[in-house]
Structure 1
């Protein structure tokens, strides 16, 4: 099976789930990245020859077609040349923008929603609530139960909708936490929906009782400077480290010596929500308890009181209480972490995620050929 994956950008550090699709799906995978007039095929110099491009340009000018004609025809020619059987589009927004190409190709396609694309109000309006995408797509994938319900509310046909949570990279299964340091780790972009300032506010209460406590926050984003200022305001600069963007290897090392993973996700004012945060799955399968919120897909994969501790969105006092529970009782942290590892391995492993996605794509091709 020849699979074309379309993604808005090439290999961004925060989209390891797309890299997993590239690396683990069976068959020949062709990775197209970029938007508008800048779509490229990874590993190829150009989609078509210079002669073909000149031909498309002549036709566009002669027929007075839109400027997108050359790009669209180049992509279509590339799909045909590589005998693509099925298309997997990462993000609903990208599927909406690719509709002209997807319709002309006549190929079956699957749309994988991830988070903001199913929740941000302005995005939904700009994409006409995905009505045309839902109409012609073969399958729609949601990564959380909350997202599943939201897409149904937008009139996605129930028969096309599939729930399939991400799987953490297998390397995280090998982490053996030793709970050696009195520290928490949080990783992710400093954005409204991850509300890192709430994590800092809760952690301040931990420092009051545990003067040797440490909080490590990895990632980058628009709220980073604000969070740094908040730490200074609280006078806890010696207790909070901002690590910037870190590698998966560094993340696994930090997980191995931390007490818990922390993240206070919320629904942003513009509607932006998580799907199911991959960092949560990675921390849990590594054997660490997860301290987070009842937000989006987090309660789908973390069982409160069994594999982690969850509070309501904006409940800083509740999060501080949960942080103190694992600091005050390391044996309890170990218990939660061990149960979490088993739970993720049994229900949300990378193998299960890829097998489900593979089955979806193969069934779509089979139905298309009938």
Structure 2
């Protein structure tokens, strides 16, 4: 079977979430005909087609369930009907909870399932418990994708067979490799959701210490989330409004511009109290591909892609003092910042390209279909 003929269902809880650039790249870059299902762990929409069921369909589905004609819910029945109608060959589930909710559907239709874990789904305690430690997912999935080495180990500890796990880091879009930072400014750039595991307040607190020595330095943190207002208030309290900018969600073109005009990328990721962790942050890969050094933490998949002391600096989680020191170091040593950035770009080009990431998934899809 040629790859170009495969009909691939990509299933994701949301659609076009700004932080999920990796899913958008998979939709555009995987070989085969893509059917993108979304909206809920059991999807209710198919991209470019609309809702999977009408009000009349819903009534019929509920009647079937009520008279014990089927064990599947109305939403599941609609999803099953759509998969059959579109003659789907293989299902790629984005996030563990998605796979947990649709594994019985795939099993009914004898469809190969590839489960792609991304971060919280392999680390947040309550999510893992709700999904029964992914026992059914691990049993049925042909392959399970882990985006970091620490995630790979975590999935093994949860019971996933080692032979099913494939370590496959994301790859940044090639446009980031074309960026050439000037290293003339004193600006630090960060991009990501304002959530507990990204701890943007720690980045702000570290930068505040930098201002004691470099009062003209700037920090830009792009993104939005539940901690956004907290960070706005912290900036006001510290009276550093003129130095710190929170522009909200920024698009790719704007991000490319910030990368070109910045000295380093910064992100103080931590393990949240809930257990939530990063996978491997795409923005860090994008910044490194652009040729900026990265200052971050020894957290999740970050040490897989940033070499401490060569392509950036990695500090311990919660170590605000050390993060500030590393930011000051690059302000005082711009030529080294450039050298670190160049080494980071070469590392990405050699090991973490988008093509490599997509090729691995294409290969898994082909193998899953052969083993069907």
Q: Flag whether TM exceeds 0.5 (same fold).
A: yes
Matched residue, 1:17: 22
1:326 aligns with 2:330: yes
Cα deviation, 1:43-102, whole Å, max 9, x if unaligned, reads: 113436887666545433444756x53322221122122221110000001111223322
Could you say if the C-alpha distance between residues 176 and 71 of structure 1 is closer, same or farther in structure 2, counting changes exceeding 3 Å?
same
Matched residue, 2:40: 35
CA contact (8 A) 1:48 1:78 kept: no
Cα deviation, 1:234-271, whole Å, max 9, x if unaligned, reads: 22111101110110110010000100000000001110
| C-alpha deviation, 1:222, in angstroms | 1.1
CA contact (8 A) 1:3 1:87 kept: yes
Matched residue, 2:152: 148
Q: 1:84 aligns with which of 56, 75, 88?
A: 88
Distance 1:309 1:328 in 2: 15
Matched residue, 1:343: 347
Matched residue, 1:240: 244
Q: 2:356 aligns with which of 346, 352, 355?
A: 352
Could you say if the C-alpha distance between residues 267 and 48 of structure 1 is closer, same or farther in structure 2, counting changes exceeding 3 Å?
closer
Distance 1:263 1:56 in 2: 47
Distance 1:54 1:10 in 2: 26
Could you say if the C-alpha distance between residues 108 and 64 of structure 1 is closer, same or farther in structure 2, counting changes exceeding 3 Å?
closer
Could you say if the C-alpha distance between residues 34 and 332 of structure 1 is closer, same or farther in structure 2, counting changes exceeding 3 Å?
same
User: Once superposed, which parts of structure 1, at least 4 consecutive aligned residues long, lie more than 4 Å away?
Assistant: 48-55
Could you say if the C-alpha distance between residues 240 and 329 of structure 1 is closer, same or farther in structure 2, counting changes exceeding 3 Å?
same
Query: Secondary structure at 2:74's aligned position in 1?
Result: helix
Matched residue, 2:288: 284
Distance 2:350 2:62 in 1: 54
Query: Secondary structure at 1:324's aligned position in 2?
Result: helix
Superposed counterparts of 1:230-309, under 5 Å: 230-309=234-313
The alignment covers a number of residue pairs equal to 367
Distance 1:341 1:350 in 2: 13
Q: Which runs of 5+ in 2 are unaligned?
A: 1-5
Distance 1:285 1:261 in 2: 11
Query: Secondary structure at 2:50's aligned position in 1?
Result: coil
Distance 1:111 1:268 in 2: 24
| C-alpha deviation, 1:114, in angstroms | 0.2
Distance 1:268 1:48 in 2: 38
Could you say if the C-alpha distance between residues 208 and 7 of structure 1 is closer, same or farther in structure 2, counting changes exceeding 3 Å?
same
Could you say if the C-alpha distance between residues 100 and 338 of structure 1 is closer, same or farther in structure 2, counting changes exceeding 3 Å?
same
Q: Which runs of 5+ in 1 are unaligned?
A: none
CA contact (8 A) 1:109 1:138 kept: yes
Distance 1:135 1:50 in 2: 35
Alignment RMSD, CA only? 1.7
Cα deviation, 1:265-319, whole Å, max 9, x if unaligned, reads: 0001110000000000000000000000010000000001111111111111111
CA contact (8 A) 1:96 1:130 kept: yes
Cα deviation, 1:199-221, whole Å, max 9, x if unaligned, reads: 11111121111111000011111
Distance 2:17 2:23 in 1: 9
Query: Secondary structure at 1:140's aligned position in 2?
Result: strand
TM-score (norm 2): 0.95
Could you say if the C-alpha distance between residues 15 and 195 of structure 1 is closer, same or farther in structure 2, counting changes exceeding 3 Å?
same
Superposed counterparts of 1:136-285, under 5 Å: 136-285=140-289
Query: Secondary structure at 2:355's aligned position in 1?
Result: helix
Matched residue, 1:45: 50
Could you say if the C-alpha distance between residues 303 and 74 of structure 1 is closer, same or farther in structure 2, counting changes exceeding 3 Å?
same
